[in-house]
Amino acid sequence: MRRRCAGKGPPVRTFAPVALMMLALAGGATAEREESGQGGLAQVIASSFRARGQADLDRLRQTPMQLACSVARPDALPADVQQRIRRDALQTVRFPPDGRWLGEWQRGEKIAQSGTGLQYSDPPDAPRGGNCYGCHRLSGTEVAFGTIGPSLYRYRQRNTGDADAMRRTWIRIWNTHAFNACSMMPRFGDAGILTPEQIRDVMALLFDPASPVNR
Amino acid sequence: MKIRAAMQAGRVEVKILMAHQEETGLRKGPDGELVAPHFISNVSVMHAGREVLRVQWGRAISKNPFLQFAFRGASRGDELTVTWVDNLGDSRTDRITIT
Amino acid sequence: MDNSRRNLISAGSLLAALLAAGSKAADLAQPPAQWNRAAFEAKTVADALKALGIPVAQGGGEVNLTAPEIAEDGAVVPVIVKSRAAGTREIHLLVDKNPFSLAASFFFPDGTDAFVSTRIRMNETSNVIVLAVTDRQAYLVRKQIKVTIGGCGG
Amino acid sequence: MPCVAGPRPAKQGVRAIADRWPLAFAASALAAAALACAAVRAADPTSVYRQMLADDNPAELAVARGQELWQMPRGPKHAALTACDLGQGPGVLAGAFAALPRYFADTGSVMDVESRLVHCMVTIQGFSRPELAAAPFSELGEPQTDLEVLVAYVAAQSRGATIRVPQGAPQERDSYARGRDLFYRRAGPYDFSCATCHGADGLRIRLQQLANLTRSEGARSAFGHWPAYRVSQGAVRTMQWRLSDCVRQQRWPQLIFGSQAAIDLSTYLGVLAGGGTMDAPSLRR
């Protein structure tokens, strides 16, 4: 499983339902502009970046979701565009075949602390992190946490009584666009950033009663 | 070096910035090999033939080191001399007039 | 390593030479400056104190250490030390979890305040230890400084 | 103290997060986040650290070196840069940095301070453009590059100047428009745009404050403080370095030095920062 999903291929998948692309274009939500003056944006992008390390130029090609969400007010996208993005995202999610949601929170904490991975400066073989603390508060003792995403401190306690919490959290980590069309959180499973094993460990960090998130 | 020495209430307040890479010897370079230690080991500040501060530094000083101290017994217009020496034998001496 | 040690020794003697007779610093007629190699190469605070010749120190309300509780980057940690103990001759700065414990030694002649401000490196969250030495006593204070991880790349 | 979660009841859990997650762009959420974040800012755990480093900026060492290089006859043509026109006339430095990027008729292009300095070093001093462009920024442990110290010096001559990046020429307006589109462009394996981190007020990554670069206030703070001495690197870094390092962390390929995209992003920021005050080189983590 680790091998299958470790992101050996290009990490950005071009899952390209043509209908969505058309909708995005029709909705005026494209990031491309008409060419003008010293050259249009597409031309400028083509001449302004160079492949380096593991970051090849293919990474600049946008998925339909990326294209549609490249606007100042993604919440103002037409409802049907958002709905399609969510639906397509949900279809990418792969659940653990053995039904085991939780790995080890200790490994999950390491993954949450590490921001290594997929930068051209990172060794391609180095274990990747999720950099969860970059955006979220998790453990009660780590003071260096970001605030781009909501606090996940006491995550287990917040979800008591929700029988579906683990499945929903798995989806959120795998491809959060299933819930919110233009969420800012990376698609950790779908884009091959973390392996399913690693996602299990992050799940344990969130749900294990012994995890520092819940103590 | 960037040195400021200003009289304030009878004291000379001295602030010194030294341009130096301060390699700890513990950092790996792009080739994966440790970069050799290279750091300022001694600083001496002289006023009117008298040493007013003597410093020994190890490898744990930040790049482009900063040093601030204060002493008595000088006046505006006096000269202050700052000398550093590093572990590879490089050295630099700068002079400044107290304002 | 061998190379650097030789260099460390020569650094002290070079400054000594400069101070004694160097053309750049002809007016610096001072005793030779030293570099306390044993102290700066000590790997523990205890060994560093031993090499400094200060085996015993007492807790020091006389010594003031100003430093941030949280440093955003261990590469630059500002520290300000002030000793009110009469006759303070030396101030030493140590970091207990650095690979080499002793960071800096300052020597104050008469007329110079027992005060210094500088910026040090810290490998990780650790105690910063300040030792102020008078003619008769040594005072020790410590403060924990948390070194945080920053940025997007981790 | 979490910033975005605010005072909501804890039991809402996953659903609540699902509802709140992408709202940072929405006006209502912006207001809510601003309120919730006021408490965080007040208790900023790194404020002591920043205050202690506020004075005695080692960037002054680079400024002094930059001044030497500016005045010294150098290069194959053995000429000083004092004839270099940064937009206010040959050799005029005061306020020049605060009005860049701008359109230059002699090259027919919009240039920022870095590309213009390279232009001057090539045309006036005879240096090789490919060599300058190949290593514009110093590596860790290396001395600052000539370009870096020159940028620091030129920026210092605009300290206190009002930012007024021009939009008179059509090329300047195009540069702004492309820069703005680039700012919102999501791509790469992390789906990040500039706006992902810099699209709302009061956010942090880890402990680092993120300027909201969709508004003038945030743009002024960012544009007005670069170049900056990065304490994490022990070196003065320029705006193009700043942009390029953001792009690296976006998991995009490398932003080419002097590229149109780099200049356009600078134009976008500079125009948005209009009316702000230059205070660079500053000091940044």
D3 catalytic? Reply is no
Statement to judge: residues A197 and A110 lie in one domain = yes
Residue A194, domain member (yes or no): yes
CATH number, domain C2-149, options 2.60.40.2470, 1.20.1250.20, 3.30.420.40, 3.40.50.10190: 2.60.40.2470
Q: Of C7, C8, C6, C28, give the one whose Cα is nearest residue C16.
A: C28
Measure the CA–CA gap between D238 and D160, rounded to whole angstroms: 18
Closest residue, chain C, to A110 (C-alpha): C154
Note the pLDDT of residue D121. Answer: 98
Q: Which domains, from first to last, does chain D contain?
A: 3-42 (no CATH), 59-284 (1.10.760.10)
Tell if the CB–CB gap between A134 and C154 is shorter than 8 Å.
yes
Q: Does A115 touch chain C (CB under 8 A)?
A: yes
B66-98 pLDDT, tens digit per residue, is 999 999 999 999 999 999 999 999 999 999 999
pLDDT at D249 (0 to 100): 96
Same domain membership, residue A120 and residue A49 = no
Query: What's residue A214's pLDDT?
Result: 97
Q: For residue B70, what are its two tokens?
A: 């204060």
Average pLDDT of chain A is 86
Q: Does the complex come out with an ipTM higher than 0.90?
A: no
Task: Output the tens digit of pLDDT for each of chain D's 285 residues.
Answer: 333 333 333 333 333 333 333 333 333 333 333 333 333 343 566 788 888 887 789 999 999 999 999 999 999 999 999 999 999 999 999 999 999 999 999 999 999 999 999 999 999 999 999 999 999 999 988 999 999 999 999 999 999 999 999 999 999 999 999 999 999 999 999 999 999 999 999 999 998 899 999 999 999 999 999 999 999 899 999 999 999 999 999 999 999 999 999 999 999 999 999 999 999 999 988
Q: How confident is the model at residue A39 (pLDDT cuts 50, 70, 90)?
A: low
pLDDT attached to residue D129: 97
Question: Would you say residue A159 lies in a domain?
Answer: yes
Q: Say which residue the tokens 């009061």 belong to.
A: D202
- CA–CA distance, C89 with A136 (Å, rounded to integer): 48
Q: Same domain, yes or no, for A110 and A198?
A: yes
Q: How confident is the model over C85-95, as pLDDT tens digits?
A: 999 999 999 99
Domain count, chain A: 2
Question: φ and ψ at D9, to 5 degrees?
Answer: -60, 145
Q: Closest Cα of chain D to C29: distance in Å?
A: 29
Instruction: Give the gap in angstroms from C-alpha A113 to the nearest C-alpha of chain C.
Output: 7
Chains B and C contact (Cβ–Cβ under 8 Å for 3 or more pairs): yes
Instruction: Say yes or no: A84 and A156 in one domain.
Output: no
Share of chain A above pLDDT 70, in %: 82
C107 interfacial to chain B (CB closer than 8 Å):
yes
**A129 in a structural domain:** yes
Rounded Cα distance between B37 and D179, Å, is 43
Determine the residue of chain C that is closest to B22 in CA distance: C121
C-alpha closest to that of B63 among B6, B96, B18, B10:
B18
A110 shares its domain with A191: yes
**B1-28 residue pLDDT tens:** 999 999 999 999 999 999 999 999 998 8
Domain end among A62, A92, A122:
A92
Mean pLDDT along residues A120-130: 94
Taking CA atoms, D108 is separated from A38, A195, D14, D177, D264, in Å, by 10, 50, 54, 18, 15
Portion of chain A with pLDDT greater than 90, in percent: 79
Q: Which of D48, D53, D207 sits opposite C76 (nearest CB)?
A: D53
Phi-psi region of D137 (alpha: psi -120 to 50; beta: other; left: phi over 0): beta
pLDDT score recorded for residue A186: 98
Residues 6+ apart with CB under 8 A from C21: none
Q: Enumerate neighbours of B (3 or more CB pairs within 8 A).
A: C, D
In the structure encoding, which two tokens stand for residue B74, read together? 């000088």
Q: Which of A46, A67, A92 is the last residue of a domain?
A: A92
pLDDT of residue A23: 44
pTM of the model: 0.83
Residue A213: inside a domain: no
Tokens of A205: 């960090």
The full 3-state SS of chain D, as one line of letters, equals CCCCCCCCCHHHHHHHHHHHHHHHHCHHHHHHHHHHHHHHHHCCCCHHHHHHHCCCCCHHHHHHHHHHHHHCCECCCCECHHHCECCCCECCCCCCHHHCCEEECCCCEEECHHHHHHHHHHHCCCCCHHHHHHCCCCCCCCCCCHHHHHHHHHHHCCCCCECCCCCCCHHHHHHHHHHHHHHHCCECCCCECHHHHHCCCCEEECCEEECCCCCHHHHHHHHCCCCEEECCCCEEECHHHHHHHHHHHCCCCEECCCCHHHHHHHHHHHHHCCCCECCCCEEEC
Q: Residue D16: what pLDDT?
A: 37
pLDDT tens across the length of chain C (154 residues): 334 433 444 444 444 444 443 333 333 333 335 899 999 999 999 999 999 998 777 887 899 999 999 998 899 999 999 999 999 999 999 999 999 999 999 999 999 999 999 999 999 999 999 999 998 899 999 999 999 876 544 4
Chain B, window 17-76: residues with a beta carbon less than 8 angstroms from a chain D beta carbon = 17, 19, 21-23, 27, 29-30, 35, 62-64, 66, 68
Predicted pLDDT of residue B30:
83
How many angstroms away from the CA of C34 is the closest CA of chain B?
A: 8
On whether both A48 and A113 belong to a single domain, the answer is no
Neighbours of chain C (3+ CB pairs under 8 A): A, B, D
Could you tell me the pLDDT band of residue A15, with boundaries at 50, 70 and 90? very low
User: What's residue C49's pLDDT?
Assistant: 94
pLDDT given for residue C54 in this prediction: 87
What six digits make up the tokens of A48? 């302004």
Residues 121-140 of D with CB under 8 A from A: none
From the CB coordinates, do chains B and A have 3 or more pairs under 8 Å? Answer: no
Contact D231 B22 (CB under 8 A): no
Same domain for A88 and A112, yes or no, is: no
**Same domain for A201 and A110:** yes
Tell me, what CATH number does A143's domain have? 1.10.760.10
Q: Which residues of D touch A56 (CB under 8 A)?
A: 253
Is residue A121 less than 8 Å (CB to CB) from chain C?
A: yes
8 Å CB contact between A189 and A171: no
Q: What is the pLDDT of residue D248?
A: 97
**Is A119 part of the contact surface with chain C (CB cutoff 8 Å)?**
yes
In this structure, the answer to whether residues A88 and A20 fall within a common structural domain is: yes
Work out how many CB contacts closer than 8 A connect B with D: 33
- Same domain, residue pair A140 and A76: no
Domains of chain B: 2-97 (2.60.40.10)
Mean pLDDT of A98-114: 97
Q: A63 in a domain, yes or no?
A: yes
Any CB–CB contact under 8 A between A149 and chain C?
A: no
| Cis? peptide before D227, omega within 30° of 0 | yes
Domain range spanning residue A150? 105-207
Q: Which residues of C touch B55 (CB under 8 A)?
A: 104-107
Residue A181 lies in a domain: yes
Identify the closest residue of chain B to C101 by CA–CA distance: B60
pLDDT digits over C12-42, tens only? 444 444 444 333 333 333 333 589 999 999 9
What are the distances in angstroms from CA D81 to CA C85, D92, D122? 54, 11, 10
User: Could you give the 3-state DSSP secondary structure of residue B45?
Assistant: strand
Q: Do B19 and D61 touch (CB under 8 A)?
A: yes
Domain ranges for chain C, please list them. 2-149
- CA terminus-to-terminus distance, chain C: 31
Q: Is the domain of A48 the same as that of A114?
A: no
Measured between beta carbons, the chain B residues lying within 8 angstroms of C109 are: 50-54
Structure tokens at D119: 């232009």
